[in-house]
Amino acid sequence: MSSALKNLSDFTTDNLPDISDKTFAIVVSEWNTDVTHALYTGAYDTLLKYGAKEENIISAKVPGSFELSLGAQKMAQQANIDAVICLGCVIQGETRHFDFICQAVADGITNVSLKFDKPVIFGVLTPNTQEQAMDRAGGKHGNKGDEAAITAIKMLGI
């Protein structure tokens, strides 16, 4: 279902786990930083809203979305980190580079999550245009960062 039909910031919050003692890592790509900073703010604020402590949220920047997998691994391998949220924005250009990045980071993040048996959340926008990105980073379709944070919380409840 497209984000146009289901707002990214509209989600159920029934039976969320207590996350007051949980530690979260947020790994953010520096490409399209106007978008990824908005995603970061959404994720950070959502974690606090549902009970995380500021001192238990660790943040790290990586150059681009392709590097999110390694950044996620460096966080997930730390015993004290309970969940990792990866945030990025890959905007379609003129070539197939977009396809390779998107597939690599989706596969890489999945592999890290399975390897370390921890939630590693794919909070990466893959729009065709800057406008589509902004619509999903606090615009009319909500904030992908909110969705990524609530997904991490829900996964800790399993």
Ligand X SMILES: CC(=O)[C@@H](O)COP(=O)(O)O
Ligand Y SMILES: Nc1c(NC[C@H](O)[C@H](O)[C@H](O)CO)[nH]c(=O)[nH]c1=O
**Active site positions, annotated:** 97
Cβ contacts of 69 within 8 Å, gap of 6 or more: 86, 104, 105, 108, 109, 111, 112
Query: Is 31 near ligand Y (CB under 6 A)?
Result: yes
Q: How far is the CB of 105 from ligand Y (least distance, A)?
A: 8
**Does 40 participate in binding ligand Y (rule CB under 6 A)?**
no
CA angle, 67 as apex, 66 and 71 as ends, to 5°?
145
Which 8-state DSSP code applies to residue 38?
Answer: H
Q: Is 24 in the site for ligand Y (CB under 6 A)?
A: no
Please check if 12 is assigned to a binding site: no
Count residues binding ligand Y (CB under 6 A): 13
β-pairing verdict for 83-89 and 142-143: unpaired
Contact 71, 40 (CB under 8 A): no
User: Under the criterion CB under 6 A, does residue 69 sit at the interface with ligand Y?
Assistant: no
By CB under 6 A, the residues from 101 to 140 that bind ligand X are 101
The footprint of ligand Y (CB under 6 A) covers 29, 31-32, 63-67, 88-91, 101
The footprint of ligand X (CB under 6 A) covers 90-91, 93-95, 97-98, 101
